[in-house]
Structure 1
Amino acid sequence: MPERVVGRTRELSTLTGLLDEVERGRGQGALLIGDAGIGKSTVAAALADVARDRGYAVAWGRCPETETLPYWPWRQAFRALGLSVEPADATLARTSMYAAVADRLGAVTAGQPAVIILEDVHLADGSTLALLRFVVGLLPELRCLLLVTSRDNAVDVPEQVAEALRALPPSFVRLPLTGLDRDATGELVAQVVGSADAAYADAVHARTGGNPFFVQELARWQAARGTTSTETPIGVRQVLDRRLARLDQHTYDVLAAAAVLGEDVGLDLLAAVVDTGRADLLAVLAAAVAARLAEVDGSRVRFAHSLVREVVYAGLGVHQRSALHLRAADSLADQNDAGQVAAHCRAAGAVERSREFALVAARAAQRQSGYEQAVRFYRWADLDDPVVRLELGAAQVLAGELAAGRDTLRAVARTTEDPELVARAVLAMGGGVGGFEVDLGDEEQTALLERVVPLLPDGASKAAAVARLALARIPTDRRDGPRQLADEAVRLARAAGDARAEVAALAVWCDVFSGPDHVAERIAAAERMLAIATGDLALVLLARRLLVVALLEQGRFAEADVQIAAFARAVLPLRLPLYSWLVPIWYGMRALMSGRLELAASCIAQATQLADDADSPNARLMVFALRAAHADLTGVVEELRAYVETVMGPFVGNPLVDGPSAYYFARAGSTEVARSIVRRRARDGLDAIPRDAEWLESLAFLGEAARVLGEPEAARLVYDALTPYAELWVIDGIGGACLGSVSLFLGRLAAHLGRPEARRLLENALEVHRTAGAETLAAETEKALAELGVPTVRAVGDAGELRCLGASWEATWRGVTAHVPDSKGIRDLAELLVRPRTPVSVLDLSGPGRVQGADLGPVLDQQARTAYRRRLLELEEELTEVTDPARAERLRDEREFLAHELASALGLGGRARSAGDPVERSRKAVSMRIGVAVKAIERVHPALGRHLRASIRTGRQCVYEPADDVTWHCQSAAGASGVTAT
Structure 2
Amino acid sequence: MSAAMPTLRRAARHGQSGMLVVTGEAGIGKTAVLDAIGAQATGMGFHTGAAKADEIGRISPGAPVLLAMRSGAKPLLDSTAIAEFDGLVDHPLVLLDRVGARLERVASVAPVLIVVDDVQWADQLSRLALRVLPERLAGDPVVWLFAARDPADELTTPPAPSVRLETIPLGPLGAADVAAIARDRLGKPASAATQRMLDGVGGNPFLVTQILDGLARGDPDGVPPAGFVRAVEAALDRLPDRTVVLLAAVLGRAFAIDEAQRIVPSVSSADVHRAVAAGLLTRDGHRIRFRHDLVRETVYSGLSDDVRQDLHRRCARYLLASGHDALAAAPHARAAATPGDEESAAILCEAGHQAAGPLPETAGDLVLEAFELIRPAQESWEPTGERCVDVLHRVQRCTDAVRIADAVLARAHDAETSARIQVLAANALWRIGRPAESVARIDEALSAPGVSAALRARLGSARALALTRMAPAWRSRQAVEPALGDARAAGDHDATMLALQAMGELARNSGHHAESLAYFRELRSVTGTSYLAEEILELQLLDRYVDAGTLLEAAHRDDHGGIEATLPSVTAAQMWQDFNLGRLDDAEAGARTLVTIGRELGDHGHELDAVLVLSAVALLRGELAEAADRLTPTTAGGNADESVRLPGLTLMEGWLAASDGRNAEARTILRPLLFNARDSSADWPWWPGWMRIFVRVGRATGDQRFSGEAAAIAAEGAARNPGVASFEGVALATRGLVQLDLDALTAANAVLDRSPRPMLRANAAEDRGRLLLGYGKRAEGLAELDRAWSIYRGIGARSAMVDVQRVMRRAGARRAKWETDAARPRQGWAALTDAEVKVAELISAGNTNKAAARMLNLSPNTVSTHLRSIFTKLDVQSRVQLTNAVHAMRPPAG
- The aligned counterpart of 1:391 is 387
Select 1:234's aligned residue among 213, 225, 241. 225
Aligned equivalents of 2:472 and 2:228: distance in 1? Answer: 72
Q: Deviations over 1:600-647 (max 9, x none)?
A: 777776666666663635743663475257437628399679979996
1:411 matched to 2:412? no
Aligned equivalents of 1:259 and 1:677: distance in 2? Answer: 63
- How do 1:212-611 and structure 2 match up within 5 A? 212-221=205-214, 233-235=224-226, 237-238=228-229, 240-241=231-232, 244=235, 248-250=238-240, 252-262=242-252, 264-272=254-262, 275-276=265-266, 279-288=269-278, 291=279, 293-316=280-303, 334-336=321-323, 354-369=341-356, 370-378=359-367, 379-380=369-370, 381-382=373-374, 384=376, 385-398=381-394, 401-413=397-409, 415-416=411-412, 418=414, 421-422=417-418, 424-425=420-421, 428=424, 438-452=431-445, 457=452, 465-478=459-472, 480-491=474-485, 504-514=498-508, 518-530=512-524, 533-534=527-528, 536=529, 539-540=530-531, 543-548=532-537, 550-561=538-549, 580=568, 583=571, 587=575, 590=578, 594=582
Aligned-partner residue type, residue 258 of structure 2: D
**SS of the counterpart of 2:508?**
coil
- The aligned counterpart of 1:121 is 119
**SS of the counterpart of 2:283?**
strand
Aligned equivalents of 1:302 and 1:258: distance in 2? Answer: 7
Aligned equivalents of 2:329 and 2:669: distance in 1? Answer: 67
1:753 matched to 2:739? yes
Aligned equivalents of 1:50 and 1:638: distance in 2? Answer: 46
Aligned equivalents of 1:345 and 1:647: distance in 2? Answer: 43
Aligned equivalents of 2:536 and 2:105: distance in 1? Answer: 35
Deviation at 1:287, TM superposition (A): 0.8
Select 1:44's aligned residue among 8, 29, 34. 34
- Taking a change above 3 Å as real, the CA distance of residues 507 and 255 of structure 1, as seen in their structure-2 partners, is same
Aligned-partner residue type, residue 122 of structure 1: Q
Q: Deviations over 1:283-315 (max 9, x none)?
A: 334413xx3x32211342211122212333444
Q: So what's the TM-score if we normalise by structure 1?
A: 0.63
Deviation at 1:33, TM superposition (A): 2.7
Aligned equivalents of 2:855 and 2:630: distance in 1? Answer: 44
1:623 matched to 2:617? no
Contact 2:201/2:208 (8 A) holds in 1: yes
Q: Deviations over 1:190-244 (max 9, x none)?
A: 65446779999999997555432133234445656799x9x77323525634762
- Taking a change above 3 Å as real, the CA distance of residues 585 and 667 of structure 1, as seen in their structure-2 partners, is farther
**SS of the counterpart of 1:555?**
coil
Aligned equivalents of 1:558 and 1:329: distance in 2? Answer: 53
- How do 1:846-865 and structure 2 match up within 5 A? none
**SS of the counterpart of 1:758?**
helix
Aligned equivalents of 1:278 and 1:185: distance in 2? Answer: 38
Deviation at 1:424, TM superposition (A): 4.7
Deviation at 1:38, TM superposition (A): 1.3
- The aligned counterpart of 2:94 is 99
- How do 1:152-171 and structure 2 match up within 5 A? 152=150, 162=153, 168-169=159-160, 171=163
In the alignment of these two chains, the number of paired residues is 785
Select 2:703's aligned residue among 711, 716, 738. 711
Contact 1:190/1:196 (8 A) holds in 2: yes
For structure 1, the 5+ residue unaligned runs are 1-8, 155-161, 731-738, 800-812, 815-922, 951-955, 966-980
Contact 1:413/1:425 (8 A) holds in 2: yes
Aligned-partner residue type, residue 542 of structure 2: Q
Contact 1:110/1:142 (8 A) holds in 2: no
Deviation at 1:364, TM superposition (A): 3.7
Q: How big is the alpha-carbon RMSD for the aligned residues of Structure 1 and Structure 2?
A: 6.1
**SS of the counterpart of 1:32?**
strand
Q: So what's the TM-score if we normalise by structure 2?
A: 0.68
Aligned-partner residue type, residue 307 of structure 1: L
- Taking a change above 3 Å as real, the CA distance of residues 783 and 527 of structure 1, as seen in their structure-2 partners, is farther
Deviation at 1:533, TM superposition (A): 4.9
Aligned equivalents of 2:394 and 2:483: distance in 1? Answer: 25
- The aligned counterpart of 1:845 is none
Aligned-partner residue type, residue 2 of structure 2: R
Aligned equivalents of 1:238 and 1:332: distance in 2? Answer: 31
Select 2:147's aligned residue among 140, 146, 149. 149
Aligned-partner residue type, residue 284 of structure 1: R
1:20 matched to 2:8? no
Contact 2:64/2:116 (8 A) holds in 1: yes
Deviation at 1:706, TM superposition (A): 2.4
Aligned-partner residue type, residue 707 of structure 1: R
- The aligned counterpart of 1:65 is 56
Aligned equivalents of 1:14 and 1:963: distance in 2? Answer: 30
Aligned equivalents of 1:115 and 1:678: distance in 2? Answer: 55
Aligned-partner residue type, residue 714 of structure 2: L
Deviation at 1:473, TM superposition (A): 0.9
Deviation at 1:36, TM superposition (A): 0.4
Aligned equivalents of 1:453 and 1:87: distance in 2? Answer: 48
Contact 1:658/1:702 (8 A) holds in 2: no
Aligned-partner residue type, residue 554 of structure 1: L
**SS of the counterpart of 1:118?**
strand
Q: Deviations over 1:651-688 (max 9, x none)?
A: 9xx99999988776666666556678999999x89865
- How do 1:548-947 and structure 2 match up within 5 A? 548=537, 550-561=538-549, 580=568, 583=571, 587=575, 590=578, 594=582, 614=602, 616=604, 619-620=607-608, 623-624=611-612, 627=615, 630-631=618-619, 634=622, 636=624, 692-695=683-686, 699-716=691-708, 718-723=710-715, 743-744=729-730, 746-747=732-733, 749-764=735-750, 767-768=753-754, 772=758, 777=763, 780-781=766-767, 783-784=769-770, 787-788=773-774, 789=777, 790-792=781-783, 935=854, 938=857
**SS of the counterpart of 1:10?**
coil
**SS of the counterpart of 1:63?**
coil
**SS of the counterpart of 1:416?**
coil
**SS of the counterpart of 1:301?**
strand
- Taking a change above 3 Å as real, the CA distance of residues 16 and 456 of structure 1, as seen in their structure-2 partners, is farther
Select the structure that is richer in strand.
1
Aligned equivalents of 1:274 and 1:410: distance in 2? Answer: 42
- Taking a change above 3 Å as real, the CA distance of residues 785 and 499 of structure 1, as seen in their structure-2 partners, is farther
Contact 2:568/2:606 (8 A) holds in 1: no
- Taking a change above 3 Å as real, the CA distance of residues 268 and 371 of structure 1, as seen in their structure-2 partners, is farther
Contact 2:412/2:418 (8 A) holds in 1: yes
Aligned-partner residue type, residue 407 of structure 1: R
- Taking a change above 3 Å as real, the CA distance of residues 695 and 82 of structure 1, as seen in their structure-2 partners, is closer
**SS of the counterpart of 1:217?**
helix
Deviation at 1:177, TM superposition (A): 3.1
Q: Deviations over 1:529-586 (max 9, x none)?
A: 555654x3xx24xx314522x3333334444455566667889x9999x953884796
